[in-house]
Amino acid sequence: MEQFRLPKIPMPKFELPQAVQAVLDEADKELAHRPKLLQLFKNCFPNTLETTTKLMDDGTTFVITGDIPASWLRDSVEQVVHYIPFAKEDKDLQRIIGGLIKRHVQYVRIDPYANAFNESANDWHWNKNDGTEMSPWVWERKFEIDSLCFVVRLAYLYWKETELTDIFDEDFRVAMEEIVKVFRTEQYHMEQSPYRFGRDNGIAHDTLQNKGLGMPVNYTGMVWSGFRSSDDACDFHYNIPGNMFAVVALRQMQEFFEWIFRDQDYVRELQKLEQEIDRGIALYGVYRHPEFGPIYAYETDGFGNHCLMDDAGTPGLMSIPYLGYTSADDPIYQNTRRFALSKQNPFYYEGTAAKGIGSPHTPPNYVWHMALSMQGLTAQTKEEKLELIAMLENTDADTGYMHEGFHVDDPTVFTRKWFAWSNSLFSQLVYKSMKEGIL
């Protein structure tokens, strides 16, 4: 196995958009009584723009994930989504976010099965010997259903906030149709899919079993996914939160094709696909737990097997209301949330410094800052939100930033000191709480 040595990519500095600076000025006043939280917010809120964003000559925007010189479809959306509420009157933010949407369209048209891409066709890869059909543009080709859903999410939220339609060109339409084509194919993965992935590095969660095809699945109507949002291989390849996200993405696409492209026939096709996936979730994705009652499983294979856990990444079970599939007071979600925040979830940890959800992607007893932020964003009470913000504030290891995972007994032991997605999600929670007047 030959793994790529991470190069350094210089990200040019540019002046912060006025709307972003205005948020920082607002925080100076609203959080003056909490100096550490204020400094964390002032570090984290602009972090994506200050360290990971590059405006390209072709009008697109390239956003690296942080300490890896590639752009993940999923990460790049979550890195900028907290800027969208301020984009309607800010031309600089429109250039940045609109440019990222255009680059996503290019990437999807290059390879809708890839999860991470290069700035150019420079032939850089996380592992150059992966057993899959690579492109010089592709950094990594792990098929994750959520990657395509995030592309739709960014375009939809940007359109709804700004009412701008310049992103909806023919290339955008073709990219949406490519996403639907992949969804359709992966409903019948074992029979129809051309996708294979293998990585011979001795790490089980980094590769697909069964000669790169993945473990067998039964038809359910849901869409097969090779990997989770953590980039770890699925145990059972119908990822339930990922399919919930696909239902939301298809609803959003229906609005694109009804109001922008005026194609009612395609809207009906999207409605049919949405219904098939949603029915599959209801029939195969709900598990009758002896303690918590009906809960959403994390994964299933359609043969009656379920993976009962939650992972820190988005989409996960905790993030279901955040993605817009259901509301936070939905009874099955509430049961699922209680399960995810209990010892019944094998990746829930408690220690002297923190308690929360971790991931098989990091060592045992590591809680993720992103999981704490998502728990806060989906919390229904002021008390829980404040508890999560305090925990985040107290576990930065005095670095001034959020990380990936950290040890529940010692926050100075952590992974990824430069992880922009985590900084952005934390910023969402703090700003939302500031506007709610609970800080």
Rounded mean pLDDT of the chain? 96
Q: In sequence order, what are the beta bridge partners of 55? A: 61
Q: Residue 5: is its pLDDT beyond 80?
A: no
In a domain, 108, yes or no: yes
In a domain, 11, yes or no: no
Q: Residue 9: is its pLDDT beyond 80?
A: no
| DSSP states along 333-371 | HHHHHHHHTSTTSTTEEE-SS-EEE--TTS-TTEEEHHH
In a domain, 271, yes or no: yes
Q: What is the CATH number of the domain that holds 319?
A: 1.50.10.10
In a domain, 2, yes or no: no
Contact (CB, 8 A) for 159 and 167: yes
Q: What is the mean pLDDT of residues 264-289?
A: 98
In a domain, 1, yes or no: no
14 pLDDT tier (thresholds 50, 70, 90): confident
Of 143, 234, 242, nearest in space to 195 by CA: 143
- Read off φ and ψ for residue 296, nearest 5 degrees: -80, 130
Contact (CB, 8 A) for 147 and 212: no
In a domain, 166, yes or no: yes
Chain segment 48-107, per-residue pLDDT in tens: 999 999 999 999 999 999 999 999 999 999 999 999 999 999 999 999 999 999 999 999
Chain segment 343-369, per-residue pLDDT in tens: 999 999 999 999 999 999 999 999 999
In a domain, 10, yes or no: no
Number of domains in the chain: 1
Domain with 292, as residue range(s), is: 18-436
Chain segment 392-439, per-residue pLDDT in tens: 999 999 999 999 999 999 999 999 999 999 999 999 999 999 999 999
Chain segment 389-398, per-residue pLDDT in tens: 999 999 999 9
In a domain, 243, yes or no: yes
